Amino acid sequence: MINDFTLKNQVDTNKFLEALELIKKSRYILLITHVNPDPDSIGSALAISNLLFENKIKHKVYNISSDLPQSLDFLNRFEKMTNILPDFFDLAISFDCGTYKRLGFELDKSTPLINFDHHASNENFGDINIVDPYKSSTAELVFDFFKYNGLNISKNSAEALYVGIYDDTLAFSLPRCDQETFKKINFLVESGANPSYITNKLLRRDSLAKYRMIPKVLDSLTLYNEGKIASIIAIKEWFEQTGAHARDCEDALDMIMSIAVVEIAFFIRYINDKCRVSLRSKGKINVSKIASIFDGGGHFNAAGCTIETNDVEEAKNLLLKEVKKYYA
């Protein structure tokens, strides 16, 4: 079914139809969200989970970890997510996985895989690849899947898709959020997604620990090259002192990116005896290239990787050396 929503699509639209055919033929479907799942990955998977549930199709939504972002607990079927692989599934669908590694485990080669993603780095590792780097979010691609197939978007699926688009566009503020995105958002709101309800659930249920942790992280701010490069850290002791979760300090990176002179910023967090790195840039520097040096990836302006050391200062120096090359 061709309509307004399809005009700017980069995906071969037959793939949406093929994906639905494969779903209809399958007996048990595994919906896979990526390692360190974010609202785009989970929202996209839960939108399809609600569709499958409404159509009585057996499935599970999987993540390799049981540590999920609890701010998404208001989405229908969030509580059904599992880190236990079912004994049997005859179709897998991955959401927002820029590389095969982001699934977090190896699928049996004989299991067909549908790959929904919007990372430029995507290696088209699926049997059906619904991949478009020009989309703001994977949730936009899942929206297109519904619309091309003339499928009903229930209130529950609409909320999940809204959350994915909202978060991956940094609240509708990134360049890839365009008029098509807003048309979709309008449709999702008409379908029952309530922006104020959702924003309150996402943003206004913080822990106190977050507000004990963020000042420590901001205090670590160091500027280089006349402030064009900024770095912050979060060390093990601060997590122990405050009881904060790794996710509780994510906002600190957005905050320092809001400093006028800062062009590129990175954040090194101690997590599970390793250093988790988040990189952001405002303009010309492709941070996914820097992340890929450390076996990570992401997008032009937002990327991440993990460095196998528990020494935050060591990881910071490794990162700084790579970032500084862009200002040599």
Q: Which residues bind Mn ion (CB under 5 A)?
A: 38, 40-41, 96, 137-138, 168
Candidate ranges 195-203, 235-243, 254-262, 301-309; the one touching ligand AMP (CB under 6 A) = 301-309
Within 10 angstroms of residue 49's Cβ, the number of other Cβ atoms is 26
Q: Which residues contact 135 (CB under 8 A, 6 or more apart)?
A: 10, 118, 141, 176
Least distance between Mn ion and beta carbon 41 (Å)? 5
C-alpha distances in Å from residue 7, one per residue of 2, 56, 285: 8, 31, 30
d(CA 59, CA 304): 30
Within 10 angstroms of residue 86's Cβ, the number of other Cβ atoms is 13
Q: Would you call 88 exposed, middle or buried from its count of C-beta atoms within 10 A (0-12, 13-18, 19+)?
A: exposed
Q: Considering beta carbons, is residue 164 or 304 the nearer one to ligand AMP?
A: 304
> Site size for ligand AMP, by CB under 6 A?
14
Q: Considering beta carbons, is residue 214 or 303 the nearer one to ligand AMP?
A: 303
Least distance between ligand AMP and beta carbon 18 (Å)? 25
| DSSP states of 182-248 | HHHHHHHHHTT--HHHHHHHHHS---HHHHHHHHHHHHT-EEEGGGTEEEEEE-HHHHHHH---GGG
| Residues 277-296 contacting ligand AMP, CB under 6 A | 278, 296
Least distance between ligand AMP and beta carbon 46 (Å)? 17
What is the x/- site pattern for ligand AMP, positions 73-112, by CB under 6 A? -------------------------xx--x----------
Least distance between ligand AMP and beta carbon 98 (Å)? 5
Q: Considering beta carbons, is residue 46 or 97 the nearer one to ligand AMP?
A: 97
Q: Is 299 in the site for ligand AMP (CB under 6 A)?
A: yes
Instruction: Identify what 117 binds: ligand AMP, Mn ion, none; CB under 5 to 8 Å per kind.
Output: none
The letter for the amino acid at 122 is N
Least distance between ligand AMP and beta carbon 25 (Å)? 30
- Are 29 and 22 spatial neighbours (Cβ–Cβ below 8 Å)? no
Q: Is 305 in the site for ligand AMP (CB under 6 A)?
A: yes
Residue entry with tokens 């290696």: 123
Q: What is the distance, to the nearest Å, from the Cα of residue 23 to the centroid of all Cα atoms in its chain?
A: 23
Q: Considering beta carbons, is residue 13 or 292 the nearer one to ligand AMP?
A: 292
Q: Considering beta carbons, is residue 188 or 257 the nearer one to ligand AMP?
A: 257
C-alpha distances in Å from residue 319, one per residue of 30, 264, 295: 36, 12, 13
Contact pick of 49, 95, 297, 301 for ligand AMP (by CB under 6 A): 297
Q: Considering beta carbons, is residue 77 or 298 the nearer one to Mn ion?
A: 298
Q: Is 303 in the site for ligand AMP (CB under 6 A)?
A: yes
Instruction: Identify what 303 binds: Mn ion, ligand AMP, none; CB under 5 to 8 Å per kind.
Output: ligand AMP
d(CA 34, CA 42): 8
Residue entry with tokens 């991955």: 94
> Residues, the chain, total?
328
Candidate ranges 14-22, 47-55, 200-208, 303-311; the one touching ligand AMP (CB under 6 A) = 303-311
Binding site residues, ligand AMP, CB under 6 A: 36, 98-99, 102, 278, 296-299, 302-306
